[in-house]
Amino acid sequence: MDTNKFETALELFDDYNSRDPKRYTWNGAVYPQELFFALNVYQWVTKLDPNASEALLLASRCEHIGRWEIPRESYPEGKAGYLNWRSNLAKYHADIAAQLLHKAGYSDDLIEDVRRIVLKQQLKTDPEVQTMENALCLVFLQFEYDDFIEKHDDAKVVRILQKTWGKMTEPGHNAALTLTYSERGKGLIEKALA
């Protein structure tokens, strides 16, 4: 790994995500929301795979880069609108990442590896893509879950938890069970897994 190139890429990703107008408060500190989530997805990837490849580490830092630039509200309501938004958003993230990686001096081959992970290609057969999915689910459970359950009824939360659990593999499941949850949050997880 070329440390200078790697650090340059992370800096470019972080600078881009620092533009997010949405803010996220954690332990009294306020962060640009997508920067906060990118830093934590990266941390989870390093915990789940201490020998993560350079491509996986880079992908984890830019998985949702620029997410605020294509708001959910710009697509129709309902499942079809949501899936279309998610698909177009993934391509957008991959394109921004590729531009910034070119700027940092990375080869086309490595950029394609990062794109493959960001686009979650071959999710169930590619261990790197699966590690990324585990990390994304863990960030949701650790930082977004409590707010999510306040906005939705128990039946919907249980369905979402079952889908989330289904996306993860054993390392993700094991890590999820070590997190601290509110009493209601823990109860809903137990219900979803029953």
Residue 42: band (very low, low, confident or very high) from pLDDT cuts 50, 70, 90: very high
Do 74 and 153 lie in one domain? The reply is no
CA distance 116 to 38: 17
Are 154 and 185 contained in the same domain?
Answer: yes
Task: State both tokens at 173.
Answer: 């499941």
Are 86 and 140 contained in the same domain? no
Quote the pTM value: 0.93
Can you state the angle between helices 3-17 and 33-48, rounded to 10 degrees?
140
60 and 139 housed in the same domain? no
Amino acid occupying residue 45 = V
State whether 84 and 31 are in the same domain: yes
Last residue within a domain, chosen from 59, 92, 119: 119
Distance CA 138, CA 28 (A): 21
Structure tokens at 157: 């939360």
| Cα(157)–Cα(188) distance, integer angstroms | 7
Residue 1: what pLDDT? 84
Mean pLDDT of 28-45: 97
Find the domain containing 87 and state its range.
Answer: 1-119
The tally of domains found in the chain comes to: 2
Q: What is the pLDDT of residue 123?
A: 86
